[in-house]
Structure 1
Amino acid sequence: MSSPLVEVKDLRKFFNLGSNKVLQAVNDISFSIGRGETVGVVGESGCGKSTAGRTILRLYEPTSGSVTFDGKDIYKLRGSSLKDLRRNMQMIFQDPYASLNPRLTVTDIIGEALDIHNLAGSKAERKRKVEGLLDLVGLNPDHAIRYPHEFSGGQRQRIGIARALAVDPKFIIADEPISALDVSIQAQVVNLMKDLQRSMGLTYLFIAHDLSMVKHISDRVAVMYLGKIVELADSDKLYDDPRHPYTRALLSAIPIPDPEVEAKRERIVLQGDLPSPINPPKGCQFHTRCPMATEKCKTDEPKLLEVKKGHFASCHYA
């Protein structure tokens, strides 16, 4: 097997809130992403998914740990070396209404990336490149002179995808790219991303809380809870045979479009609220809501171990 494109090792991102309070947003996560692979990251709001994505791209500086991209530790790079690397690592943001500058035309929104990395060429060449990118994501190239408010949410997200593709990256982090869109548009955007991946050889980290959509696009899925990865496995294995009780609870919430199967299925309802990442529980962080918790879970923190080939879970009873 070839070496992974992205390797995350022991990554932590803590935020100092003052008064001796520290928010442990991302707490010791490790995983890798192969070339051309899509790894999905799922979990409740506030579990640290988006913070992990931004820290991997170095939009946030890490508290500790390392991220290796194509053999280079991105946290050790400075200046022009870091700028060159950023060409290969791009992000699609969650909210297409907030991530596009309302004062710029689509030509300037997409062309800005070309200008920064000296890829624009002449004005006519820049215009051709922008129009080509719009055509690539399914938008009318003639609309390049319009402003963001003249587009629908789905169209704006396609502009965001075009902006990410402008510098011809190898790796894209998609931070909940469909959560702000109508259900009818979500599948179109995900299918577009899959088509682009096949044609351009892209590698994705796909962050979402829609488990059915994550299964549709991901090769492997990581489940996060309170800043930690609690389960990691191939997509089919995770959905067919979840080993962590938190994953089972998440999967039980997915509706099945068969009334007879749905009526017989047991829904796992978690008790209590998500603990605060400022003061996480000792031992297994999930024990305060876990229906299987024992005294051991309250004191001993489980490690993320391989329970089956390629299937990892951090549970004493996995």
Structure 2
Amino acid sequence: MTKTDAMLKVEGLKKYFHVNRGGILKAVNDVNFEVRKGETLGMVGESGCGKSTVGRTVLRLYEPTAGSVTFNGTNINQLNHVKMKAMRRQMQMIFQDPYASLNPRMTITDIIGEALDIHRLANSRAERKRRVEDLLDLVGLNPDHATRYPHEFSGGQRQRIGIARALAVDPQFIICDEPISALDVSIQAQVVNLLKELQQKFDLTYLFIAHDLSMVKHISDRVAVMYLGKMVELAESGTLYADPLHPYTKALMSAIPVPDPEIEASKERIVLKGELPSPINPPSGCYFRTRCPAATDRCAVEEPLFREAKPNHFVACHEV
């Protein structure tokens, strides 16, 4: 892949948090990946693996402990406050919880219009009102409801409002931080299909963070798998689901339900033993070795490199 293909390039990204009694929680620990223009990179893993922290650190909602984030050739970690504010027009986020991410005291007009105000994208109140109504129509909501408050909408409608807010500044790149996990299953597919339609219409690039593996397969071009703050596998979506290489990825894939009852009944489920280790005190060597059925003595002393095991298929495992 040439450098010009990558809209976003993340190198050696670390985000550590200081916790009680001098401990350090290594939420993101040396993560490397690229997102190409126009694609959707899915990011999956168990709760607490650091995937949401990656998204927030990429946007500098969290300041990184180490590493670089390069967006369209600019290292955004080196930007001052004013330049970073301008950069946020190009990089937006859709948050996980549509109940917590919308200010209950603000009308929908002001929630969406706030972004227009910050970046001075509307020259008059009439233009601002028209732009908000156009955005609501774009995400499938009634523009006449712009004067209502968040509590008057369902969860799926609130998430559409969150999507409209992200689109208000005409971004190139959107981080979708588990945008469907708080929604009813019946609504999840509608929101994912809306995101796909918007991507095609506006040539958007997504980092789609989720733990629903079947939904990630539906929307992603490539998929990255995280475990305990590290990336353990990265490949084209079809390749990863058909031929996972890392033992952790294999266990995740075995948990995806199959709609055919006969296939589901005969399918072998890989059940991981043991508890997820603490990111404050991770295992030596390979972080996954304490739960890995294929672990050897080498895994306890030597951390595996994240390398290209097959063409465009990267994995961090000694046994692959």
Normalised to the residue count of structure 2, the TM-score between the two structures is 0.98
Note the residue ranges of structure 2 that are not aligned, 5 or more in a row. none
For residue 19 of structure 2, give the secondary structure of its aligned residue in structure 1.
strand
Structure 1 residue runs without a partner (length 5+): none
1:20 alignment partner AA: G
| Partner of residue 159, structure 2 | 157
From 110, 113, 119, the counterpart of 1:111: 113
Deviations 1:206-244 (A, max 9, x none): 000000000000000000000000000000000000000
Given candidates 133, 143, 148, the residue that maps to 1:131 is: 133
Aligned residue identity for 1:71: G
Q: Which SS does the other structure have where 2:5 is aligned? A: coil
Return the match for 2:279 from 273, 277, 298.
277
Matched, 1:301 2:318: no
Separation in structure 1 between the aligned mates of residue 98 and residue 90 of structure 2, nearest angstrom:
22
Q: CA deviation at 1:16?
A: 1.1
1:26 to 21, 25, 28: 28
The alignment partner of 2:233 has SS state of strand
The CA deviation string for residues 177-231 of structure 1, in whole angstroms up to 9 with x for no partner, is 0000000000000000000000001000000000000000000000000000000
The residue that corresponds to 2:226 in the other structure is 224
The match for 1:81 among 83, 87, 101 is 83
SS in 2 for 1:19: helix
> What is the distance in 2 between the residues matched to 1:79 and 1:260?
57
Alignment of 1:7-86 (within 5 A): 7-86=9-88
TM-score, normalising length: structure 1: 0.99
**SS of the counterpart of 2:63?**
coil
The correspondence for 2:192, drawn from 190, 193, 200, is: 190
Cα distance, 1:18 vs structure 2: 4.3
SS of the residue 1:254 aligns to: coil
Q: For 2:81 and 2:296, how far apart are their aligned partners in 1?
A: 51
Report SS of the residue matched to 1:23.
Answer: strand
Q: Does residue 172 of the first structure (1) align with residue 171 of the second (2)? A: no
Residues 86-108 of structure 1 show CA distances to partners (whole Å, capped at 9, x for unaligned) of: 10000000000000000000000
Greater than 6 Å deviation, 4+ residue runs: none
SS at match of 1:99: coil
Amino acid at match of 1:185: I
- C-alpha separation between the residues in 2 aligned to 1:252 and 1:153? 30
